[in-house]
Amino acid sequence: DSPVTLKILQNWVPRVSHYFDKEHYTYVGHQIVIQESIEHFGAVVWPGALALSQYLESNQEQFNLKDKKVLEIGAGTGLVSIVASILGAYVTATDLPEVLENLSYNISRNTQNMNMHKPEVRKLVWGEGLNEDFPVSTYHYDFILATDVVYYHAALDPLLATMVHFCKPGTVLLWANKFRFSTDYEFLEKLCNIFNTTILAEFPESNVKLLKA
C-alpha cells in the first residue's frame, strides 16, 4: 500500500514566557499543555511528535494501544507518551538524564486525576546498559514509539542497536521523523535491512515520514 499523504494539524495555541514556552494541544478530546525548554533538543516539540500523535488518535482501530505495553525512546517533552497514555497504554517514557525533569513534569501535570495507567519515566541512553537496565527476559513491549530521533548523527548506531534490543517478535516500531539530511535516509536504509519496514504516512509540507517496522 502506498503511504497516506497528510498534513500536520496546527491545533495548538502557543503561549510564550521569558524562560520557557507552554504549548497547548488537543488530542483524543483532551487538552494537553506542554512546557518546552530551549536548553535541550529533547525539550522541544518537534514535527514528528505532532505527526505520530495525530496518527495514533486517528487510527485507533489499526493501532489499538489499550492495555498495551508501550516504550517511547527519546520521549523529549512527553507529548507522544501522554497521547499513548490517554489511549489506554501502559507507557514507559525514556530519554537522557538531563531531559527527565521536564519530561516528568509534563507527564505528571497532564495525566494526574485522569483514569488511565500512569506513565513511568526512566533514563535511557541509547546503546548503553540495555541488558542491565532493560533485560530481555523481563521487559517486552508491544509498541516502540520514536519521533525525530534521527538528527544527532553521532548517536545513530547506538539508536539502531537500541531499536534492535527492544524489538522482539510481535513488537511494532512506529517512527516519525522529519527528513533533513542524507544521513537520515542512510539510517532508514539500515533500518529497512533489519526490519520489515513500510511507510504509513507522509506529511510533505514538513518533510515528515511515519514508518512502521
Per-residue pLDDT of the chain (213 residues; tens, 9 = 90+): 778 888 877 554 444 443 445 688 999 999 999 988 766 666 788 899 999 999 999 999 999 999 999 999 999 999 999 999 999 999 999 999 999 999 999 999 999 988 889 999 999 999 999 999 999 999 999 999 999 999 877 889 999 999 999 999 999 999 999 998 899 999 999 999 999 999 999 999 899 999 999
* pLDDT for 21: 55
The number of helix segments (H) and strand segments (E) in the chain equals 6, 11
**CA 13/CA 169 separation, integer angstroms:** 40
* φ and ψ of 131, to 5 deg: -70, -30
* pLDDT for 126: 96
* φ and ψ of 110, to 5 deg: -95, -5
Residue 18 C-alpha cell reads as: 521569558
**CA 20/CA 44 separation, integer angstroms:** 10
Looking at 3.40.50.150, 3.30.930.10, 3.30.390.10, 3.10.310.10, the CATH number of the domain 22-212 comes to 3.40.50.150
